[in-house]
Structure 1
Amino acid sequence: MSDYALRTATAEDVDAFSRVIRDAFAMPGAPDPTDSIRTVIELPRYLVIEHSGQVVASAGAFTRDLAVPGGVLPAAHVTAVSVAATHTRKGLLRRMMTHQLGDVPEAIAVLWASEGRIYQRFGYGLAAQSVAYHADRREVSLRVPAAAGTLRAASPADVVEELAEVYDRVLPGRPGWSSRNAAWWAHLTRDPEQHRDGYTAKRAVLFEHPSGTVDGYARYKVRSKWNDNGPEHEINVLEVVAATPAAYAELWRFLLRIDLSRTVVLGLGSVEEPLFHMVDEPRHLGGKVGDGLWLRIVDLPRALTSRKYAAPVDVVLEVTDALLPQNAGVWRLRVGAGGALVHCTRADDAAPDVTLDVADLGAAYLGGTRLGTLALNGRVTEHRPGAVAAVSTAFGWSVAPVSIEIF
């Protein structure tokens, strides 16, 4: 493999690795130098592999925070992992992923997987599922009474500061959500016409409490459709962010009542989306569950002591990690009253209560995958009766994790 050189990307590589990414994901057209994704690319965190003077593979990461149970934690947001079709099956992806994991300064890394089988090989666990809702809005109505407040329509780019204020207020309580700085907001609200794919421009609606405080917003777009019997427009909901139940309900009431529409789609919903419990016919929300955010623990003691827990626990974990040997071994996790005062220390002379792989810890980290469930399929082994139930309860959380943005 000496003719394949792994190195950090430079500004001169952007078009080249963009072309590799577009080809790998079958994206039409050539790299666009005006694409706003370029404004958030961090070249020092991008790897490329060069062969005969050509970039043939890439892997990158964004520096962002991630909401975890009880707080917000820096997390490497892995992205743009691609290998040119003419250079696959040569170990290039493994080389990049292994190098990247060894170089990540954060305690955890997260990604969206094109195929889950790829990243489980590198210790990533399925930490949050995602539900695509495809609602027949004529069959669905809210059961909750209308709340006092006002709805205000706007172009998202014109109200970024208000959107960001609401988002930042809600973020700490929503495991799986990622932080957004000004550059990310500019990228997410940019809306060139050539990228609309038959939809209208992106729209926003804000919910204002009678006090004047903006307590929530929805970003959405509309696709016009007609048949022989009349209109059947589709409302594509990009996200609903609400600081109060009233704001959440009124935003959904609005989205489900837009004239001429027949279908309301939310592509990145939670497995416990509150809407499911607010409508009269939840079956007609048409939810389809899939995988969402995958998480990799990079620094085990730092990761486990950086979140809160749902219950006290004192457990000895035997952890395997084929790629990062510093995580492997026996660890004692002690969590005090209130789920805080967390200690995680090596305990190599102690008998383990539970044996599991680092990917299983990653799956449980956001509180969305129960270790008890993983024990049912043999991925987690219990040595002390009751240990799995205790640690599974401790790792749980009151809100199901979800990622509402593919990066």
Structure 2
Amino acid sequence: MAAPDVSIRVGDPGDWDAIWNHVMLLFHEPHSEKASAIERATFEPQRCLVAEDGGAIIGHAAAYTRDLTVPGAVVPAAHVTLVGVSPTHRRRGLLTTMMHRQLREIADAGREPLAALWASETKIYSRFGYGQAAHRLRLEIDTNEVRLPSTPVPGTLRLVGLDTGRKDFAAIYDRLRPGRVGWSSRPSEAWWNAVHADNPQHRQGATPFHAVIYETPEGPAGYAIWRSKGNWTPQGPQGEVQVREVVAGDPDAYLALWRFLLSIDLTRHLSMRSAAVDEPLRYLVDEPRRLNPAIGDGLWVRIVDLPRALATRRYAAPLDVVLEVTDELLASNTGRWRLRVDEGGSATCERTGSAADLSCTILELGTVYLGGVRLAALAAAGKVRELTPGSLRRATASFGWERMPHLTETF
């Protein structure tokens, strides 16, 4: 329960400057007018909850209206962001109050069966039913130590600026997005500006972003965005390539783009913060250890409308299972649900009085929803209970997907 001297209201367009300044305070970032203007363009004040004390904003929780690709479908998902409470008002229940209210309002609106977020601290959001549904791979590559196949590719590479290449980037991304689990829609020019924001304060001595497009006779088939950082030692150049995004429509485009990035003159190191866990590069290079891969957490998913969420995505194998689910915040999700999946992967999900085969909370369903975490792994951790022998194996296979989720951006 929020402190009695604090009020919580829906946001207003005039709140932006105070919210942005508060976000910069909470995340220990210097103020930037340019960054503020870019973020303001995507701000949805009607989806922001503002906590005030004496007229001063001391907390907020917001959401963006975007779609998220899930296994076999594209689903409206509340992209939760700008969550924080002033250090002077911690431990008063303000975050809990805002997060509970936000979830209820998303559920009552009935548009989005899911909510998703990136966690600043991973211990926070499981309290509200968010499960760690997708991970990312961080790469730190010794470029002199890896080689790619010399297979010829039919296309060519073209250097472009971020602005001049934007039309092609969007066309490639939107064509591929329905098949890439974890990708979010970029529904406007403002969103492309936000995703590729190039704040000089974040460069730490590196260049602005550069971009390259892979062209084929049929048109653009992939692109990469990166920046570089020079470094000279007595032994010679030791520059670094910092990859922001690689989007490729086929293996030829993928190979050509990575061959380019790994061979930029005067560089000896390449870093990428958000590769896929099953990144194909791991199976292309001759010395995969030199990629120095490290797993990090990524997208957290909260199921808001259970029957709609489970019936909307597709599945990897037929299934007929009764799930007993507990949701302490959204009571409409609590109960027994019969999930039926046909041979084509399409599903129905309905309430049932039949005996349960598996038992879990809403958090576990969010964790496995994108196909990046296996139900059996959660069962091994004691988070899912098998009540009917064999049901766990069948459900684990069905909830999987052909590729792991891939996260191209934070929000």
TM-score between the two structures when normalised by the length of structure 2? 0.96
Q: Residue type of the partner of 1:53?
A: G
Is 2:385 the counterpart of 1:381?
yes
Q: Could you tell me which runs of 5 or more consecutive residues in structure 1 were left unpaired when the two chains were aligned.
A: none
Contact 1:293/1:402 (<8 A) preserved: no
Residues 257 and 32 (structure 1), Cα distance of their counterparts in 2 relative to 1, 3 Å cut = closer
Contact 2:20/2:36 (<8 A) preserved: no
Contact 2:61/2:99 (<8 A) preserved: yes
Q: How do residues 153-302 of structure 1 correspond to structure 2 at under 5 angstroms?
A: 153-181=159-187, 182-191=189-198, 193=200, 195-209=202-216, 211-302=217-308
Is 2:148 the counterpart of 1:142?
yes
Residues 31 and 99 (structure 1), Cα distance of their counterparts in 2 relative to 1, 3 Å cut = farther
- Displacement, 1:245? 0.7
Distance 1:107 1:272 in 2: 27
Contact 2:38/2:190 (<8 A) preserved: no
- Displacement, 1:190? 4.5
Distance 2:193 2:384 in 1: 43
SS at match of 2:164: helix
Is 2:406 the counterpart of 1:399?
no
Q: Residue type of the partner of 1:142?
A: L
Q: Give deviations 1:10-68, integer Å, cap 9, x for gaps.
A: 12211111122111111123665753111111111111100111100011111111011
Is 2:59 the counterpart of 1:63?
no
Q: State the partner residue of 2:43.
A: 41
Contact 1:22/1:31 (<8 A) preserved: no
Is 2:346 the counterpart of 1:344?
no
Distance 1:225 1:47 in 2: 45
Contact 2:134/2:372 (<8 A) preserved: yes
SS at match of 2:100: helix
Contact 2:21/2:31 (<8 A) preserved: no
Contact 2:135/2:295 (<8 A) preserved: yes
Q: State the partner residue of 1:361.
A: 365
| More deviation, 160-169/27-36 | 27-36
Is 2:19 the counterpart of 1:17?
yes
Distance 1:225 1:13 in 2: 43
- Displacement, 1:167? 0.3
Q: State the partner residue of 2:315.
A: 309
Contact 2:162/2:211 (<8 A) preserved: yes
Q: Could you tell me which runs of 5 or more consecutive residues in structure 2 were left unpaired when the two chains were aligned.
A: none
Q: State the partner residue of 1:78.
A: 80
Residues 338 and 15 (structure 1), Cα distance of their counterparts in 2 relative to 1, 3 Å cut = same
Q: Give deviations 1:164-193, integer Å, cap 9, x for gaps.
A: 000011111110011112221133344354
- Displacement, 1:228? 2.0
Residues 67 and 134 (structure 1), Cα distance of their counterparts in 2 relative to 1, 3 Å cut = same
Report the aligned-residue RMSD: 1.3
Distance 2:273 2:295 in 1: 10
| More deviation, 143-152/307-316 | 143-152
Distance 2:176 2:150 in 1: 22
Distance 2:340 2:238 in 1: 56
- Displacement, 1:135? 0.3
Q: State the partner residue of 2:118.
A: 112
Q: Residue type of the partner of 2:350?
A: T
Q: Residue type of the partner of 1:358?
A: I
Distance 1:143 1:32 in 2: 42
Residues 308 and 235 (structure 1), Cα distance of their counterparts in 2 relative to 1, 3 Å cut = same
SS at match of 1:317: strand
Contact 1:175/1:401 (<8 A) preserved: yes
Residues 280 and 288 (structure 1), Cα distance of their counterparts in 2 relative to 1, 3 Å cut = same
Distance 2:295 2:130 in 1: 19
SS at match of 2:340: strand
- Displacement, 1:2? 2.3
Contact 1:19/1:30 (<8 A) preserved: no
Residues 144 and 376 (structure 1), Cα distance of their counterparts in 2 relative to 1, 3 Å cut = farther
Q: State the partner residue of 1:6.
A: 8
Contact 1:19/1:31 (<8 A) preserved: no
Q: Residue type of the partner of 2:232?
A: W
Match of 1:122 among 128, 131, 135: 128
Q: State the partner residue of 1:103.
A: 105
Distance 2:54 2:182 in 1: 40
Distance 1:192 1:333 in 2: 46
Distance 1:81 1:144 in 2: 47
Q: Residue type of the partner of 2:159?
A: A
Determine what percentage of the aligned residue pairs are the same residue.
47
Distance 1:51 1:107 in 2: 33
Q: Residue type of the partner of 2:5?
A: D
- Displacement, 1:148? 1.6
Contact 1:315/1:387 (<8 A) preserved: yes
Q: Residue type of the partner of 2:228?
A: V
Distance 1:15 1:273 in 2: 39
SS at match of 1:216: strand
- Displacement, 1:134? 0.6
Aligned residues: 404
